[in-house]
Structure 1
Amino acid sequence: MSIKSFAARIFASHIRNKIDKWASNPHNTQQKVFEELINKAKDTRFGKDHEFSEIKSHSEFVKKVPVRDYEELKDYVDMMVEGQEDILWPGKPLYYAKTSGTTSGAKYIPLTKDSMPTHINAARNAILCYIADSGNSKFVDGKMIFLQGSPELDEKNGVKLGRLSGIVAHYVPGYLQKNRMPSWETNCIEDWEDKVDAIVDETLKEDMSVISGIPSWVQMYFERLIDKTGKKVGEIFPNFNLFIYGGVNYEPYRTKFESLIGRKVDSIELYPASEGFFAFQDRQDANGMLLQLDSGMFYEFIKVEDFYSENPERLILKEVEVGVNYVMIISTTAGLWAYNLGDTVQFTSTKPYRLIVSGRIKHFISAFGEHVIAKEVEQAMKEAVAESGAEISEFTVAPQINPKGEELPYHEWYIEFEQEPEDLDKFAELIDRSLQKQNSYYLDLIEGHILQRLKITKVPRNGFQDYMKSIGKLGGQNKLPRLSNDRKIADKLNEII
């Protein structure tokens, strides 16, 4: 065992103990975070506008600070971007994580001196918890690759801005610099396909032990490696034993990945976003990710079915229940207050608090009142793949409201198969049966002859990559929505097909 590997084990044990301490005292931890947030921001523009000096409890916070999304917080953000200080958080931000917006164009998510370390520490702690849990630290001696956006940053009124993954690249600790790949020059390549080819050339000769990124884009990297060598990824990199991922559910990709690698590898799931690093998988045998309660973020939760009502109840941590679908609301040391991320989550445990990301509040299908969410379609796909032996590369779902002739409406599943099932009709039946079992609304609509069984449209190889390229979102941190309540994606895919 190397000195670095030995030291990693000692440090991992120390960090695990610190995490266990706050995880076992969750409500006091969150109360302390809440009080510190309010106190530190009371003299900011937002704090004065919302009378933070008078807020002593969560109920008072609810009365004075409404839930907002980015568009509703944009006036304050615009003041910051113009160069004003003490707007949402004391001083100026360190960075803006620039992301694509919906109705407001580019979004500028602030990263402050107080919030930036939480992104770095959570990523580090995820790996350290894996070491503490598994006893495996040998991988720290090998090369590690993190598929991410360009680290080149622009500047706006004295504040640097760029993609979150590119900003984080500036914070890789010194002891990992020699292990980290790809090179700075390759990381700066903007065209994703050119970048992947360059990464393949750089890594082929290296002893890769850790590979990290969004599954769909790591899959592209793996396929290019195989195309170039004719070997499985596990043969090319015999010491590759840890895959770190975030952004989407890995389960629909797992079978495909194990086929590309040629064996099983351990994995760590992360829940990062520009707005905060919210959770990570802290134990290999646990269902769900540990919610980060001691990282300058105060959480509220609104039941999905209540979210669009006039005054939905905003629950704090001690009021949540396992298995209920919630919209997660955050207040942070980046100056985001009662901020609607748009994510929906479900708790898998409350001792400690672990959760899964169940989807997006705007990414669902309810064209007929069925309220189908991402977690349900992913579970249905997982079950169908397991039973049929099929392998998929990617999929998305859309409603077909106006079918031809006298047909009943249906859900249309666009699937790119790596290995088609022997019986496509039976495969569709397996998916549909799982959806009916999970979602009583969908079952009622099928049994009431309002909807017919789902239909599958096959997408040709690389069809989803072509789609993402056509909308300028190939690579980086861009993700394909798992389902939509309209046919914008479906119509674009039909042009490719």
Structure 2
Amino acid sequence: MTSTDGWGSPGHEQRYRERVFAERARLHGAAADFAGHQQRVLADLLEFNADTAFGRAHGFGRIRTMEEFRRAVPVQDYADHAPWIDRTTAGEANVLTADRPTVYFTSSGSTGAHKKIPVTPRFMSSTFFPFYYAAWAPLIEHFPDVLARPDAVLNLKHDPLAAPPTAADGRPHVGASQVDFGEKFGEPLSAEPGTAAPWAALPVPVAADAHLEKMYLRLRLAVQSDVRCLIGINPAMVAAVPYQLNLWWPRIVKEVHDGTLGGVPYGAPAPQRAAELERLADHFGIVRPAQIWPHMRALFCWTTGAASLYLPRLREEFGPGVTVLPAPVAASEGPVGVALDRHPCAGSLVATASVYEFVDADQDLTPDVATLLPDELEPGRDYHVLFSHVGGLYRYAVGDVVRVVDRVDGVPRVEYAGRGTRSDAAGERLREAQVIRALRAALSATGLELRNATCQVATPPTGQPHYRFALAPHTPWNGQETTRFARLLDTHLGEQSPGYRRAREAGRLGDPTLHLLPRDAFQRDWHDAVGAGVRPTQVKDRIFRQDPALWQRLTQLPATHEGEHR
């Protein structure tokens, strides 16, 4: 995202700081009247969109209260909204919103299908920008040096496109990180840190879908800068950096030495820097980001879900004093929570952005399911999250489960717990969040560590179905450790999920099995998926991988120790 009032222009940094801190202060202030703000958000979306096709079909003009809204509009997911969105992309006006979409955000979702999320000016001004600016406040308050130079931040998700793909109505259909918010929405301050670095707009020709080559080129340029902060949002992107540095190291060093970028002359040859980089590899045997960028201060990405299994060790790759700050709990469809302080994982609900509803995570999301409002949530519990906002999503089940951590000034603070999908081979109704917590508990009890994990239901021709886990240990596990871990994992899965415990006790599920992978197996898998054409931001950690092809691709690598264990 770039603009004429971008990084490096006179006074930009000061104006940016003022805007970020002002938006955070407004969100802090909104906590004093959270319920009142929720009612005003509801009234605004009803009034603004009353004369749309959706608004007329659901009687928006007659609705005054939250209870009336619940009765008039069923709980819906993307598939329910899709017919209305299709009418919008075909060029029809006043379908979901009174605003014409400016762009459509893309999102892979849980199925991998590319959604088209209408993004309107009113949505951006009232729902998106307040949380978006406030999200950067902890970073720039506590690590001000990350704004000192354009090349102090390596923003991995920034991926501008000269010729973006479009929907049927001709409007761009892109990721949020591919939109110039200054140009499209009149917000010149919205360019993120790192979007004016030398690698932000690559100076050599590269195909739009050559995602691995673009990542290489950015790393090649960044090794010659004093990077202080890395922005990834998706933690799998952050985890890929150490792997890719070592994978591409000989090519990087040669290009630094020769003064080339992707084989094209670029800048002056730098044999002295190349020699320094070569010495790092010779001395340490493996190249770590901490050695290349010794002044690294902060990482900015999601810190929960599957990432909680590997982030502590990953952080060390970037330096012993590096802080990991949590990216917002949000999706392409809208925000849920944003960290307004240095809490390591949770963010406060954004009172002014959307009307929020919740459903206990163990319940099914049916159109008429009873929902809870924010003041009814209990800390320590998991919930499906629904939101409604002026951008045209109504009682929208985003597909994520959040866990309530605590309350700040009466406002629930939530962390991302996992996708809302369940695995249910024998009535166990097992959720991602339950598997992640069981894995963490078994790791804690054994002192073992993982670089990542996934699982699927194995259904042999004879015998019971059972869960098999593919695990990439941080260091090799011996047979005794693996056997004990498998036993503890089974126990903790039963503690987390009553359905799993009942299925095991009734003999409907067999013992879980473990398949140990090389330590970099998940990084290789991620790298291969990006190489196959998937945008890096959309290749995310997945606990459940039932697709046989995905499982085979991951587990075809040699096992770390003795293959399968019970």
**TM-score in terms of structure 2 length:** 0.77
Q: 1:481 to 1:103 in 2, by over 3 A?
A: closer
- Tell me how large the CA RMSD over aligned residues is: 3.2
Q: 1:384 to 1:193 in 2, by over 3 A?
A: farther
User: Helix, strand or coil: the match of 1:419?
Assistant: coil
What is aligned with 2:53? 45
The answer to whether the Cα contact below 8 Å between 2:101 and 2:118 also exists between their aligned partners in 1 is yes
What is aligned with 1:334? 391
Q: 1:197 to 1:400 in 2, by over 3 A?
A: same
**Displacement of 1:450 after TM fit?**
3.6
Q: 1:432 to 1:103 in 2, by over 3 A?
A: closer
Q: 1:339 to 1:15 in 2, by over 3 A?
A: closer
| Equivalent residue letter for 1:383 | A
User: Helix, strand or coil: the match of 2:534?
Assistant: coil
Distance 1:51 1:175 in 2: 40
What is aligned with 1:278? 336
Distance 2:539 2:111 in 1: 18
Q: 1:193 to 1:310 in 2, by over 3 A?
A: closer
Distance 2:116 2:86 in 1: 9
What is aligned with 2:487? 429
What is aligned with 2:172? 160
**Displacement of 1:161 after TM fit?**
2.1
Deviates more, 1:266-275 or 1:304-313: 304-313
The answer to whether the Cα contact below 8 Å between 1:301 and 1:329 also exists between their aligned partners in 2 is yes
Q: State whether structure 2 residue 369 is matched by structure 1 residue 349.
A: no
Query: C-alpha deviations, 1:409-428, integer Å up to 9, x for none?
Result: 32111123342234322232
Query: C-alpha deviations, 1:288-343, integer Å up to 9, x for none?
Result: 22111212x11121223332457310222222222333221111122111212111
Identify which of 277, 293, 310 aligns with 1:253: 310
What is aligned with 1:225? 245
| Equivalent residue letter for 2:174 | G
What is aligned with 1:416? 472
User: Helix, strand or coil: the match of 1:481?
Assistant: coil
Q: 1:176 to 1:436 in 2, by over 3 A?
A: closer
Distance 2:210 2:74 in 1: 40
Matches within 5 A, 1:244-323: 244-246=300-302, 249=305, 250-269=307-326, 270-285=328-343, 288-295=346-353, 297-308=354-365, 311-323=368-380
What is aligned with 1:185? 202
Identify which of 223, 226, 236 aligns with 2:292: 236
Deviates more, 1:334-343 or 1:169-178: 169-178
Distance 1:183 1:411 in 2: 43
Q: 1:290 to 1:130 in 2, by over 3 A?
A: farther
Q: 1:70 to 1:6 in 2, by over 3 A?
A: closer
Q: State whether structure 2 residue 432 is matched by structure 1 residue 378.
A: no
Q: State whether structure 2 residue 180 is matched by structure 1 residue 124.
A: no
Query: C-alpha deviations, 1:76-120, integer Å up to 9, x for none?
Result: 111110112121111310101133477895421101102224434
The answer to whether the Cα contact below 8 Å between 1:120 and 1:168 also exists between their aligned partners in 2 is no
The answer to whether the Cα contact below 8 Å between 2:211 and 2:535 also exists between their aligned partners in 1 is yes
Distance 2:180 2:438 in 1: 35
**Displacement of 1:478 after TM fit?**
2.4
- For structure 2, which runs of at least 5 residues remain unmatched after alignment? 1-10, 183-187, 250-276, 282-286, 559-566
**Displacement of 1:484 after TM fit?**
4.9
| Equivalent residue letter for 1:320 | L
Distance 1:225 1:369 in 2: 44
Q: State whether structure 2 residue 155 is matched by structure 1 residue 146.
A: yes
| Equivalent residue letter for 1:77 | I
User: Helix, strand or coil: the match of 1:25?
Assistant: helix
| Equivalent residue letter for 2:147 | V
Distance 2:193 2:367 in 1: 50
Distance 1:61 1:178 in 2: 41
The answer to whether the Cα contact below 8 Å between 1:232 and 1:261 also exists between their aligned partners in 2 is yes
**Displacement of 1:201 after TM fit?**
0.3
The answer to whether the Cα contact below 8 Å between 2:156 and 2:231 also exists between their aligned partners in 1 is yes
User: Helix, strand or coil: the match of 2:122?
Assistant: coil
Distance 2:181 2:438 in 1: 36
Q: 1:313 to 1:280 in 2, by over 3 A?
A: same
What is aligned with 2:268? none
Q: State whether structure 2 residue 229 is matched by structure 1 residue 210.
A: yes
Between Structure 1 and Structure 2, whose CA radius of gyration is higher? Answer: 2
**TM-score in terms of structure 1 length:** 0.87
The answer to whether the Cα contact below 8 Å between 1:5 and 1:138 also exists between their aligned partners in 2 is no
The answer to whether the Cα contact below 8 Å between 1:146 and 1:212 also exists between their aligned partners in 2 is yes
**Displacement of 1:259 after TM fit?**
3.7
Matches within 5 A, 1:476-487: 476-484=537-545
User: Helix, strand or coil: the match of 1:159?
Assistant: coil
Deviates more, 1:436-445 or 1:89-98: 436-445
Q: 1:62 to 1:188 in 2, by over 3 A?
A: farther
Q: 1:120 to 1:416 in 2, by over 3 A?
A: farther
Deviates more, 1:33-42 or 1:105-114: 105-114
- For structure 1, which runs of at least 5 residues remain unmatched after alignment? none
| Equivalent residue letter for 2:27 | I
What is aligned with 1:21? 29
The answer to whether the Cα contact below 8 Å between 1:69 and 1:339 also exists between their aligned partners in 2 is yes
Distance 1:93 1:381 in 2: 42
